[in-house]
């Protein structure tokens, strides 16, 4: 995973325990959490990895734990802190959608298995409640989530068998929320990279609904509270054209090469420049 647009990458630490609470002995770099990154050909399925800008920090993904990516022993995993830590939420592949601007999650088994149940979580995947949406098991070919200010509708479409006609099931999920969220239902969350608060040159603080509160976010939900620029440090820079970064972190010319031309500043050689997308502050 990368937090600076691909300059640095690291393996994902697997969850410490499985769904039954048993310890998972997975030590980096010999073992890690490996995520599938295919996008869904069906726009009405969530695909193997999904996130939403209105649900800061939450990533839901399909993957496996081991030395390499595998399509065996695949499960569903979630991160509530933008990929710093992960938890397993299902042992089988599911499609997961965000409801109410990310205030709740809904999960349904992959369409290869007929089902009449869906699962809903209000605490970022820590606990799930089962609900029935059909009297007969349905092959779910897709779900359309229609978000509005006054009505919240999910439309399931699929078929009861491979020879049956298409079926449409509409669900008004507004009733699963007990009330409208108030100021006391929110908490602040700081974006970070393994505890480092400056990400791409900024300290960003978001407002999120407290996990476990059965309240509806509503249209006045504000997701970002502040974004403060940090003072630029060494890792906020990339090597300038013609230079390469060495093991000590400094940018130097490759052996045997000459400095590239620098129009308008022939006497000065610039070895670094701020990386694209960095918003840190440079003090002369």
pLDDT of 233: 81
DSSP 8-state class, residue 180:
E
pLDDT of 274: 59
Q: Give the residue ranges of the chain where pLDDT is below 70.
A: 146-151, 218-222, 260-278, 283-284
Long-range Cβ pairs for the range 128-136 (8 Å, 24+): 128/89, 131/176, 133/169, 133/171, 134/169, 136/160
Quickly name the fold that domain 183-229 has: Complement Module; domain 1 (2.10.70)
CA distances from 250 to 9, 193, 239, 262 (A): 19, 22, 8, 19
Residues 107-125 pLDDT 10s:
998 878 899 999 999 899 9
Distance CA 175, CA 198 (A): 40
Q: Where are the domains of the chain?
A: 32-177, 183-229, 232-284
Nearby residues of 220 by Cβ (< 8 Å), 6 or more positions away: none
Q: Cα–chain-centroid distance for residue 104?
A: 14
């Amino acid at each position: 995973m990368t937090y600076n647009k691909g300059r640095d990458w690291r393996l994902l630490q697997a969850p410490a325990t499985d769904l039954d609470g048993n310890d998972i002995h997975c030590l980096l770099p010999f073992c890690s959490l490996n995520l599938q990154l295919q996008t869904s050909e069906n726009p009405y399925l969530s695909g193997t990895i999904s996130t939403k800008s209105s649900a800061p920090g939450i990533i839901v993904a399909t993957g496996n734990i081991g030395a390499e990516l595998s399509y065996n022993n695949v499960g569903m995993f979630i991160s509530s802190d933008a990929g710093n830590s992960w938890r397993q939420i299902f042992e089988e592949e599911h499609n997961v959608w965000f409801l109410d601007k990310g205030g709740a999650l809904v999960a349904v088994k992959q369409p290869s298995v007929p089902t009449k149940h869906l699962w809903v979580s209000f605490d970022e995947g820590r606990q799930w409640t089962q609900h029935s949406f059909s009297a007969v098991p349905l092959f779910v070919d897709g779900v359309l989530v229609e978000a509005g200010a006054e009505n919240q509708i999910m439309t399931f479409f699929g078929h009861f068998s491979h020879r049956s006609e298409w079926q449409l099931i509409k669900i008004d999920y507004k009733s699963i929320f007990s009330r409208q969220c108030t100021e006391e239902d929110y908490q602040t969350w700081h974006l970070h990279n393994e505890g480092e608060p400056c990400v791409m040159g900024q300290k960003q603080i978001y407002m999120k609904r407290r996990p476990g509160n059965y309240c509806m976010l509503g249209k006045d939900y504000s997701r970002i509270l502040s974004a403060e620029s940090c003072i630029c440090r060494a890792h906020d820079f990339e090597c300038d054209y013609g230079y390469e970064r060495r093991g000590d972190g400094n940018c130097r010319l490759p052996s045997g090469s000459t400095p590239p031309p620098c129009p308008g500043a022939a006497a000065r050689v610039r070895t670094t420049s701020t990386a694209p997308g960095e918003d840190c502050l440079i003090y002369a």
